[in-house]
Amino acid sequence: MSHSTSSPAILVLEDGKVFRGTSYGKTGSTLGEAVFSTGMTGYQETLTDPSYAGQIVVQTAPHIGNTGVNSEDAESRKIWVAGYVVRDAARRASNWRSERTLDEELIDQNIIGIQGIDTRALTRHLRSAGSMRSGIFSGDDARRPEAELIEEVKNSEQMKGRKLAESVSIDSAFVVEPKDFGWAEEPKATIVAVDLGIKAMTPQRFAERGVRVHVVPADTTLEEIQSYNPDGFFMSNGPGDPATADAQVDLLRSVLKNKTPFFGICFGNQILGRALGFGTYKLPFGHRGINQPVLDKLTGKVEITAQNHGFAVDAPVEGTTTAPIAEFGEVEVSHVGLNDQVVEGIRCLDIPAFSVQYHPEAAAGPHDSAYLFDRFIDLMLENKN
């Protein structure tokens, strides 16, 4: 293993485009879908977001690593990205909370990256050509013939059709207690949260508001969920193609039939869409970053949101419609992305269920959408009483 600044590296896209730089993190080779994230801050939260599993993340912000990394800001138990692409990696970390450099963390977790390339040119290319299969090759691997590397990338797995949520989920359930996050009274409600790639901040946001959260694995059954006697049911964000999540779709349909209040985030939004009978589709380059504008149609307010999704729900944006599975009644698209009119939220009018495509827990921000946790708590308490 060589230090990141000392060996050549090459980023290869499946359409034959090539970017040369030097290695960052561990030296070697890695394959994944090239995607870009527009966040100016929060690179540690990005790296540890399980929704990035299988993806090589390009940071559009030019300076990465300035504040180092620490043990508090990770959103899960490890870094999940398949590879990491930056323009100017910080030569030193400078922040009072920093415990080690990002470079050291990437090496320690065996993450292969590349630095010193024109990430603006790369982002513009991905915006026009779309997210695509890619590979980072450094050290000896960077000296292989380009044609050979392009062929290897072309033969790698596509994101469409990939089933990844189970691979990032926990193995056994755990509970997040409100008292551990400053709540002094008895819990006001209990929810079961299915971990499809959940971020640590999500159960914390519930706990801060007095909700006990049982976080359970992706393959949890309806009987196991009912054993907790929950006031509500939650499905998290996660990686991969929602068209592969048949087990979770069937589970959610059973929950909806029982009239248990439901809230979903990101992958959970896509699963609600599918459970109601709508389809999903792959976006050209997706939405990733912490500056995505969304209209809340209920209030007319525009929120700046944190997002990380490459797939979306195919549902009518205007008006109300009967769910394709008619027993679930009337449904409306509650939130819309203002850049491209993509469905960013669904609200059921005849059953207690809603979801959003973005991340209201928002570490590292913004916090415009925090009200959604309160909206779900209100929905649970209404049904409870």
What pLDDT, on the 0 to 100 scale, is given for residue 361? 85
Asked if residue 78 lies in contact with residue 109, where contact means CB atoms within 8 angstroms, the answer is yes
Q: Which two tokens stand for residue 268?
A: 């959970």
State the pLDDT at residue 366: 76
With a cut of 50, say whether residue 1 has pLDDT above it: no
- Could you give the residue ranges of the DSSP H alpha helices within 28-187? 43-47, 102-108, 119-129, 146-154, 165-168
pLDDT tens digits, 333-365: 999 999 999 999 999 999 999 999 999 987 767
H helix and E strand count, the chain: 10, 20
| pLDDT score at 367 | 83
Phi, psi of 105 (to 5 degrees): -65, -40
Q: pLDDT for 110-165, tens place per residue?
A: 999 999 999 999 999 999 999 999 999 999 999 999 999 999 999 999 999 999 99
What is the pTM for the complete model shown? 0.94
Q: Count CA within 13 A, CB hemisphere, residue 268.
A: 26
Confidence of residue 2 (pLDDT cuts 50, 70, 90): very low
**Mean pLDDT, the chain, as a whole number?**
95
Per the CB < 8 A criterion, the answer to whether 320 and 349 are in contact is yes
> Considering the chain, what percentage of its residues have pLDDT values greater than 90?
93
Cβ atoms of 50 and 72 within 8 Å: the answer is no
Band of pLDDT at residue 109, cut at 50, 70 and 90: very high
Q: Which pair of structure tokens corresponds to residue 109? A: 């977790």
Give me the phi and psi of 16, to 5 degrees please: 95, -5
pLDDT of 372 reads 95
DSSP H stretches of helix in the chain: 43-47, 102-108, 119-129, 146-154, 165-168, 201-208, 222-226, 246-257, 267-275, 371-384
pLDDT in tens, 235-291: 999 999 999 999 999 999 999 999 999 999 999 999 999 999 999 999 999 999 989
Strands (E), 272-383: 279-296, 301-314, 320-322, 330-337, 343-348, 353-356
What single-letter DSSP state applies at residue 274?
H
Over residues 11-21, mean pLDDT: 98
CA–CA distance, 335 with 358 (Å, rounded to integer): 10
Which DSSP category does 30 fall into? E
**What token pair was written down for 380?**
């649970």
Q: Tell me how far apart the alpha carbons of residues 77 and 91 are, in angstroms, rounded to a whole number.
A: 26
Catalytic residues: 266, 359, 361
pLDDT of residue 40: 85
Q: Which residues lie closer than 8 Å to 175 by C-beta, 6 or more apart? A: 212, 213, 214, 215
pLDDT in tens, 175-230: 999 999 999 999 999 999 999 999 999 999 999 999 999 999 999 999 999 999 99
